[in-house]
């Protein structure tokens, strides 16, 4: 038997029976709520980039604390030379 999407066949009572099988592409994955949270306080959104390494892992407040204390990136341990506040649209 040949099985195809949108196949039409006739039943014993001569009434057409239609099978309408669609294969839908999955939509975009919903954003995980933890993915945008600061990796230090887990309270605020990530909104600053650590320069030179470019990691986006902290909120601006936690980034400032790192920069003023031991200015090392918590991911790669490279020195933090500058913080840049970021804004999402």
Q: Where are the domains of the chain?
A: 34-89
**Whole-structure pTM value:** 0.61
Is 42's pLDDT higher than 90? yes
Please give the residue that has the higher pLDDT: either 58 or 10: 58
Looking at the structure, give the CATH architecture of the domain made up of residues 34-89: 2-Layer Sandwich (3.30)
The two structure tokens encoding residue 18: 């239609």
Q: What's the pLDDT at 32?
A: 58
Per-residue HEC secondary structure of the chain comes to CCCCCCEEEECCCCCEEEECCCCCCCCCCCCCHHHHECCCCCCCECCEEEECCCCCCECHHHHHHHHHCCCECCCCCCECCEEEECCCC
């Amino acid at each position: 038997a040949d099985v195809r999407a949108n196949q039409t066949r006739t039943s014993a009572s001569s009434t057409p029976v239609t099978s309408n099988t669609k294969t839908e592409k999955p939509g975009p994955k919903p954003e995980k709520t933890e993915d945008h949270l600061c990796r230090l306080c887990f309270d605020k959104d990530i909104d600053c980039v650590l320069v030179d390494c470019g990691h986006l892992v902290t909120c601006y407040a936690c980034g400032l604390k790192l920069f003023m204390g031991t200015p090392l990136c918590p991911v790669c341990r490279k020195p933090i030379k500058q913080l840049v506040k970021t804004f999402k649209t």
